[in-house]
Amino acid sequence: MSKSFLEAHVPDLVKKLKVEEKVALLSAPNWWNTTPVVRLGIPSIRMSDGPNGVRGSSHFVPTPAQCMPCATALASTFDPGLVKRVGDFLAQEAKLKSSVILLAPTCNIQRSPLGGRAFESFSEDPHLSGTLAAAYVDGLQSQGVAATIKHFVANDQEDERTAADSIMSARALREIYLYPFMLAQKHAQPAAFMTSYGRLNGTHCSENRELLTDILRKEWNFGGIVMSDWFGTYGVDLAVNAGLDLEMPGPPRWRTLSLVLHCLSSKKLTMATIDERVTSLLTFIQRQARKNIDIVFGDGIERSRDTPESRRFCRQIAAEGVVLLKNRGNILPLTCKNIAVIGPNVKERVISGGGSAALKPTYAVTPWEGIADGAPAGTTIHYHIGCYGHKYLPTLESNLRTPRGDAGWLCTFFAHDEHGEISYPVQQFILNDTRVKLNDFLPQGLTPTWSIKLEGKLTLDKTCRFEFGLTVAGRAKLWVDGSLLIDNWSKQIPGDFFYGQGTIEEKASVNVKAGKPVDIFVLYTNTPPPDGDDENGEGRLSQPALMRGVRLGGCEKIDEEDAIAEAVSLALQADAVILVGGLSPEWESEGFDRPSLRLPGRQDELFTRVANANPNTIVCIQAGSAVSMPWVKEVSGLLQAWYSGNEAGNAIADVLFGKVNPSARLPLTFPSRIEDVPAYLNHKSESGRIHYREDLFVGYKHYQARNITPLFPFGFGLSYTRFSYSNLVISVKPYSDVDLLHLNLTVTVSEEAHGQRASPAR
Give the integer Cα–Cα distance in Å for 307 and 646.
Answer: 13
Residue, of 753 and 99, whose pLDDT is higher: 99
Domain closes at, from 655, 689, 706? 706
Task: State whether 418 and 552 are in the same domain.
Answer: yes
> Is residue 712 pLDDT above 60, yes or no?
yes
Task: State whether 551 and 567 are in the same domain.
Answer: no
Q: Are 529 and 500 in contact (CB under 8 A)?
A: no
> Is residue 676 pLDDT above 60, yes or no?
yes
Domain assignment of residue 235, yes or no: no
- Could you tell me the strand order of the sheet in which 338-342 lies? 323-327, 637-640, 617-622, 576-582, 338-342, 380-384
pLDDT above 70 covers what percent of the chain? 95
Task: State whether 513 and 588 are in the same domain.
Answer: no
- φ/ψ bin of 221: left (φ > 0), alpha (ψ from -120 to 50), beta (otherwise): left
Task: State whether 430 and 552 are in the same domain.
Answer: yes
pLDDT tens digits, one per residue of 156-183: 999 999 999 999 999 999 999 999 999 9
Domain assignment of residue 182, yes or no: no
* Beta bridge partners of residue 486, listed in sequence order: 478
Task: State whether 597 and 699 are in the same domain.
Answer: yes
Nearest to 220 by CA among 252, 255, 179, 257: 179
pLDDT of residue 498: 79
| pLDDT band of 737, cuts 50, 70, 90 | low
Given 79, 229, 433, 496, the catalytic residue:
229
Average pLDDT over residues 17-39: 97
Average pLDDT over residues 246-274: 97
Task: State whether 569 and 506 are in the same domain.
Answer: no
> Is residue 642 pLDDT above 50, yes or no?
yes
Average pLDDT over residues 503-527: 96
The reply to whether 229 belongs to the active site is: yes
> Is residue 67 pLDDT above 90, yes or no?
yes
DSSP letter for each residue of 126-150: HHHHHHHHHHHHHHHHHTTPEEEEE
Q: What is the span of the domain harbouring residue 456?
A: 397-531+546-556
Residue, of 733 and 9, whose pLDDT is higher: 9
Give the integer Cα–Cα distance in Å for 394 and 551.
Answer: 10
pLDDT of residue 742: 84
- Which amino acid type is present at position 415? A
> Is residue 529 pLDDT above 90, yes or no?
no
Task: State whether 604 and 681 are in the same domain.
Answer: yes
pLDDT of residue 1: 61
pLDDT of residue 755: 37
Task: State whether 552 and 418 are in the same domain.
Answer: yes
Q: Angle at CA 343, nearest 5°, toward 337 and 346?
A: 75
Average pLDDT over residues 322-342: 97
Task: State whether 418 and 341 are in the same domain.
Answer: no
| pLDDT band of 396, cuts 50, 70, 90 | very high
Nearest to 599 by CA among 387, 352, 394, 395: 387
Task: State whether 573 and 518 are in the same domain.
Answer: no
For the ranges 89-93, 149-153, 756-760, the lowest mean pLDDT is seen at: 756-760
Domain tally for the chain? Answer: 2
CATH number at residue 367: 3.40.50.1700
| pLDDT band of 10, cuts 50, 70, 90 | very high
- φ/ψ bin of 481: left (φ > 0), alpha (ψ from -120 to 50), beta (otherwise): left
Domain assignment of residue 316, yes or no: yes
> Is residue 525 pLDDT above 50, yes or no?
yes
CATH number at residue 506: 2.60.120.260
Average pLDDT over residues 447-454: 96
| pLDDT band of 531, cuts 50, 70, 90 | low
| pLDDT band of 546, cuts 50, 70, 90 | low
> Is residue 540 pLDDT above 90, yes or no?
no
Task: State whether 452 and 518 are in the same domain.
Answer: yes
| pLDDT band of 758, cuts 50, 70, 90 | very low
Query: Is 483 strand, coil or helix?
Result: strand
> Is residue 535 pLDDT above 90, yes or no?
no
Task: State whether 602 and 687 are in the same domain.
Answer: yes
> Is residue 472 pLDDT above 90, yes or no?
yes
| pLDDT band of 738, cuts 50, 70, 90 | low
Q: Helix %, strand %, coil % for the chain, to 5?
A: 25, 25, 45
Domain assignment of residue 685, yes or no: yes
Residue, of 59 and 317, whose pLDDT is higher: 317
Neighbours of 757 (CB within 10 A): 10
Residue 244 DSSP code: -
Q: How far is CA 237 from CA 247, 265, 272, 283, in A?
A: 12, 12, 13, 22
Q: Are 199 and 205 in contact (CB under 8 A)?
A: yes
Give the integer Cα–Cα distance in Å for 607 and 627.
Answer: 13
Average pLDDT over residues 342-349: 97
Domain assignment of residue 213, yes or no: no
